[in-house]
Structures are given as C-alpha cells and as structure tokens.
Amino acid sequence: MLPAPPPPSPALLLVAHGSRDARHAATVTALTARVRRQLPGVRVEAGYLDFDAPSVHGTLERLYAAGAREVVAVPLLLTRAFHAKTDIPAVLAEAASALPDLSVRQAEVLGPHPLLTAALQRRLRVAGLALGDAPSTGVVLAAAGSTDPEASAVIAEIAREWRRTTGWCAVRPAFASAQPCTADAVQELRAEGIRRVAVAPYVLAPGRLPDRIAAGAYEAGADVLAPVLGAAPEVARVVAERYSAAAEHSFFPERSSVAA
C-alpha cells in the first residue's frame, strides 16, 4: 500500500496595516512576491486592516473559496503592540467565524530578529556607510512608535544589542510618534561629540511616519539616512520563519516534537 500523501501546507496570509500612501501597498506587493519565492508550494496572499484592498476578510474569503481550510496569518509588524495584541486577533476571529471549518493561526510579529538587524546594517551600507565607519558613527534607530511600553522597550533593547554586536560608537532609539523624536536623538549624539550620525528607519514601508523620520533626520543634519526595510530579502526570510513555526506548532505538532 502506498503511503498517504502529506497534508497540504496551510496558506499564508500576510496582514498589513494599510496606508493612504500608495508606496505602502507597493511595498507589501513586492514583499508578498518575494515570500512566495521563499515558500514554493504555499499559497501566499496579503490583506489589509485599513485603507487598502483587499481587506483581511476579503483575502480569507478568497483563500477559503480556493479550498484553504488552514491559514497562518503573519502580521507585517516589527513590534508586538496594539495591532498584534488586539486588532488582528479580533479581525481574524470575526472573519473565520463566518467560514465553516476554517482554522486561522496568528504567527508572531516579525521583530525582533537578527535578520532584521542585518537588513538595517545593509541598508546603511546602501546609503553610503562603510564597515570601517562604525567606530566613529552613531546610529539613530528610528521606529514608528507606540503607546505600548512593551513595544518601546523592545526598540531600546534592539538598540543596545546592535551597539554591542556591531561596533557603532552609539545606537539610540527614536520614534516618529513618541519621544525622543529622530531630530532630538541626532542632536543628542552630536552634543556628545560624535562626528558622523546615521539614521536607520526601523519601519517596513514608506508612509506618513517614515516621512516624519526622514524630516527629523534632515532637520537635525544627519549625515546618512538609510532607506526603509521594504521588501528586503531578510524580511522575506523572517516572514517564512514565522510562518513555518506557526504552521508546525498549530497544524503539525508531531513535526515540532520530532524537530525538538
């Protein structure tokens, strides 16, 4: 008797926030395509919480109509704050409740992750910093910002770890929608006598808050402003990791036990 074929892989739903800025959706589209290449054989689609189409509801309905009954939802978020803790679970539960036998599992947010730090490092090189510049360069790690203290603490910890492992003379956290802002962090590094200051946006896609980070960098006279993370290959690899971990623990627990 032939062995039973392996069960189909769960579909992957990338959950993006959405934005009135068209560059946001273009970035999500590019990232979705890169993730598809990372996960051959897995159906990968994106859905938005707001502003853009298709909505999370609409994407889940389309996956369901195509035969998917198991879905892993990966939030395109860098920290675990309100959207990951409240918004996304509520939207996924509401959508799944209307689709019989559909099982949806929410994966962990993307950050923190060493690959994201590697992507930040590479973005700074693209912007003109050389590896030999590290000892004389201070970096502002500029995130979107959140009222959730857990999210802010994660950004501070990433800054400390990045400083420890890379040799930048300083790494300071800053926020587009909280304090300290990007300009203040740049000026603080200047006041300490740091000769070169670079700003690394810890954000996925262009939009209003990344534009605010850029404005603060220019206002304070930063020497280097890196591009946003965007559809970087490192980001796609993190998405694939989050998907695989959630799929194995939720739908294939026997694989997790064997791997452990």
Is there a contact between 47 and 56 (Cβ–Cβ < 8 Å)? yes
With beta carbons less than 8 A apart as the criterion, state whether 106 and 73 touch. yes
- Is the N-terminal amide bond of 112 cis, ω within 30° of 0? yes
Confidence category of residue 155, pLDDT binned at 50, 70, 90: very high
Q: Please state which of the four CATH numbers 1.10.287.70, 1.10.3720.10, 3.40.50.1400, 3.20.20.70 is assigned to the domain occupying 128-225.
A: 3.40.50.1400
Centre a 10 Å sphere on the Cβ of residue 163 and count the other Cβ atoms it contains. 17
What average pLDDT does this structure show over 132-141?
A: 94
Domain limits, the chain: 11-110+232-259, 128-225
Residue 250's pLDDT is: 64
Global pTM reads 0.93
- The CATH number of the structural domain formed by 11-110+232-259 is 3.40.50.1400
Residues 6+ apart with CB under 8 A from 48: 15, 16, 17, 18, 25, 28, 54, 55, 56
Q: Using the predicted structure, report yes or no on whether residue 254 has a pLDDT greater than 70.
A: no
- What is the per-residue pLDDT across 81-127, written as a single tens digit (0 to 9) for each? 888 999 999 999 999 999 999 999 999 999 999 999 999 999 999 99
Mean pLDDT across 37-57: 97
pLDDT value of residue 3: 57
Mean pLDDT of the chain: 93
